[in-house]
Structure 1
Amino acid sequence: MPIRHCIIHQIDKKPDGSPAVLHVSDTELVESQATENLLNDLNVAYNAKTGKGWGLFHAQSGAYPLSGWLQAYIEGGDFTVFSRTAVEHLTKLMEESNLSVGGHVLFAHYQQGMTEYLVVALLQHSEGVTVNADLSVTPSKHLDFGNINLAARINISEWRSNPKSRQYISYLKGSKGRKAIDYFRDFIGCQEGVDGPSETRTLLKAFSDFVTAEDMQEDSAREKTQMLVSYSMAQAKIGEPITLDELSELIDEERPKAFYDFIRNKDYGLSAEIPADKRTLSQFRRFTGRAEGLSISFEQHLLGSKIEFDKEAGTLMLRGLPTQLVDQLKRAAG
């Protein structure tokens, strides 16, 4: 993971309502194993977070200046100057929002594969202890990556190469409350472009329709479901989107375009790449079964709503039957 530039500033803001004090650094972090570990730990923690938002920049303006500053830096500006200007703006927004939580603000421009990213994160410390060489212990502080709530990652490569994209920025929705999330998102200048959970649900619906349309055998449907979930979870773990053509190839190697073409022909409105929502994926499981002319297949999330299972009697109660099936049954009942 080549790190092009990385710097940390500090916003000291106490809960007593006193004004925030900004401590800026004039020196970037040197390239070292410690810096690489820092960014790697941050990325792992960021990717593990659920509840992300995905979007794009607002048009550059006085209210949303970061994209302009970033553009100037990318075109040959100084990273330290860019980060300092940005953190001053962040401090101002923090004061206006009357939020009491400061912290260390990390800016990092790095490359992963062929893709360039800028990550901005507000980091907090956690109290701990360390064991000294003489086996005594002393208090120590360390960055608490498990408690990151305000962070965003900008895919610089996609922003510059595909300006029509609506998902080159991701940010944590976190647990700090709507007001905190809004001020940080305003700092980034990000507007929501793609609803990750909704897109993931649509993908899973398309997959369920595909399984039905293909009249898959139970074992095949279960295997392909596992492929979809495993691939999507793996993409979420590394912070990458689900790529539909790649997923289609995994689902059916003999007909690698079958699922992709099915999605396009049915017009589900999905982009070629969609953000994977881990919470939605973790809830997805497909139950299937065939016996003596009876074929049943449904998704786990329907249990308790449209489908009820009586464990003692071994029976299912179905609600909201498909209109076409209801019509057939009415005609048969005549």
Structure 2
Amino acid sequence: MPIRKIIMHMIDKKPDGAPAVLHAASELLLESQSNEDLLWRLNESYNAKQGKAWGLFHAESGAHPLRGWLSKYIADEISFQEFSLVAVEHLQHLMEESNLAIGGHVLFVHYQQGMTEYLSIAVIQQSEGIAVGEDLRTITAKYLDLDHLHLAGRINLSEWQNNPASRQYISFIKGKNGRKATEYFRDFIGCQEAIDAPGETRTLLRAFSDFVENEDLPEEAAREKTRTLVDYAMSQTKLGEPIILEELSGLVDEDKPRSFYDHIRNKDYGLSPAIPADKRTLNRFQRFTGRVEGLSISFEAHLLGTKVKYDKNDDTLVINGVPTLLTDQIKRASLER
């Protein structure tokens, strides 16, 4: 991940209503292994976060000026240091307005991953830990706490510049610090949420369940394809990349690589060609199976409570929407008796 530009400012803001104090860096950070390690750790922590929001820029305005400043940087009208300075001053102003805001080190990094360029912005807190000095004595040392990242966003610059129709080139953490904290950082970036990642992921899983049912696959084949889908989706979340439906389709069925993709298109599930995966939804996706005395039952976990209902008092399952093939067999068997 080559770093193009990287700089770090500091906003000293206490949650006691005192004014925020900006300590601005006058120059970019120099190329170093520690900066490479910092970016790697930042991406690792960011990608692992659940519940991120996805969207696109608002139109440039006084309330959402970041887009305009970023455009000037991309066009070489201002330097990266100048861009980061006006941006961090705007962030400081928003922090002043928020009694919930806590300062920290504000990192701006423009980097490239593969053929794609990104801009990441993160507010990182400092923590204290115990280290061992050269004299083998323990010392208290401060470090950037990337394990507890709450305010961070990432802009896919290549997607923004080259795909005007895209509605998911920005992502940001919807943290656990409350809606107001999330909103003030979202407004700082100038992002309007446009993609419901949990909803899109649930729709994808529903489409997959329908596909498996329509194909009337053997149980072992269905389990294997389920593992393939989940493994691929999880690997994309670790990379911070969306699920590419055509790519997924090729993995789900190597002999007929477009079959799942065509199923999605023909049934009109309303999915985009690339969707951000929601890790929490994927974690809940599994297959319940059971076999006893000639009876074999298997269904996806997310169908429990909708298509499949369990009555624990009677220890019974009620299935809504019985597969047509099964219904036809039962009807024929009933007529023969």
With structure 2 as the length reference, what TM-score do the two structures score? 0.92
Partner of 1:95: 96
**Residue pair 1:303, 1:309 contacting (<8 A) in 2 also:** no
Partner of 2:299: 298
Partner of 2:317: 317
Change (3 A) 1:304 1:199: closer
Q: Deviations over 1:293-333 (max 9, x none)?
A: 8663311134467432769x9x6421545597999889979
- Written as runs of structure 1 = structure 2, the 5 A alignment for 1:75-94 is 75-76=75-76, 77-94=78-95
Q: 1:20 and 1:228 mapped to 2: Cα distance?
A: 47
Matched positions, count = 331
Instruction: Indicate yes or no: 2:332 matched with 1:308.
Output: no
**Residue pair 2:213, 2:323 contacting (<8 A) in 1 also:** no
Partner of 1:121: 122
Q: 1:232 and 1:135 mapped to 2: Cα distance?
A: 45
Q: 2:224 and 2:293 mapped to 1: Cα distance?
A: 23
Partner of 1:235: 236
Instruction: Indicate yes or no: 2:163 matched with 1:162.
Output: yes
Alpha-carbon shift at residue 100 of structure 1 (Å): 4.0
Q: 1:309 and 1:250 mapped to 2: Cα distance?
A: 37
Partner of 1:42: 42
**Residue pair 2:160, 2:166 contacting (<8 A) in 1 also:** yes
Partner of 1:276: 277
CA RMSD of aligned residues (A): 2.5
Sequence identity of aligned pairs in percent?
62
Of 276-285 and 298-307, the range deviating more from structure 2 = 298-307
Q: 1:323 and 1:214 mapped to 2: Cα distance?
A: 11
Change (3 A) 1:12 1:309: same
Q: 2:227 and 2:309 mapped to 1: Cα distance?
A: 22
Q: 1:94 and 1:132 mapped to 2: Cα distance?
A: 37
Secondary structure at 1:83 match in 2? helix
Partner of 2:143: 142
Q: Which runs of 5+ in 1 are unaligned?
A: none
Change (3 A) 1:318 1:112: same
Partner of 2:11: 11
Supply the AA of the counterpart residue of 1:205: R
**Residue pair 2:132, 2:138 contacting (<8 A) in 1 also:** yes
**Residue pair 2:289, 2:299 contacting (<8 A) in 1 also:** yes
**Residue pair 1:218, 1:290 contacting (<8 A) in 2 also:** no
Instruction: Indicate yes or no: 2:226 matched with 1:206.
Output: no
Partner of 1:54: 54
Secondary structure at 1:101 match in 2? coil
Q: 1:131 and 1:98 mapped to 2: Cα distance?
A: 38
Q: 2:116 and 2:323 mapped to 1: Cα distance?
A: 47
Supply the AA of the counterpart residue of 1:49: K
With structure 1 as the length reference, what TM-score do the two structures score? 0.93
Change (3 A) 1:303 1:227: same
- Written as runs of structure 1 = structure 2, the 5 A alignment for 1:175-214 is 175-214=176-215
Supply the AA of the counterpart residue of 1:297: S
Q: 1:292 and 1:248 mapped to 2: Cα distance?
A: 36
Q: 2:291 and 2:245 mapped to 1: Cα distance?
A: 30
Change (3 A) 1:109 1:40: same
**Residue pair 1:111, 1:117 contacting (<8 A) in 2 also:** yes
Q: Deviations over 1:215-244 (max 9, x none)?
A: 001010000000000000000011000000
Secondary structure at 2:140 match in 1? strand
Q: 2:327 and 2:71 mapped to 1: Cα distance?
A: 59
Q: Which runs of 5+ in 2 are unaligned?
A: none
Of 130-139 and 212-221, the range deviating more from structure 2 = 130-139
Secondary structure at 2:29 match in 1? coil
Instruction: Indicate yes or no: 2:73 matched with 1:73.
Output: yes
Secondary structure at 2:11 match in 1? strand
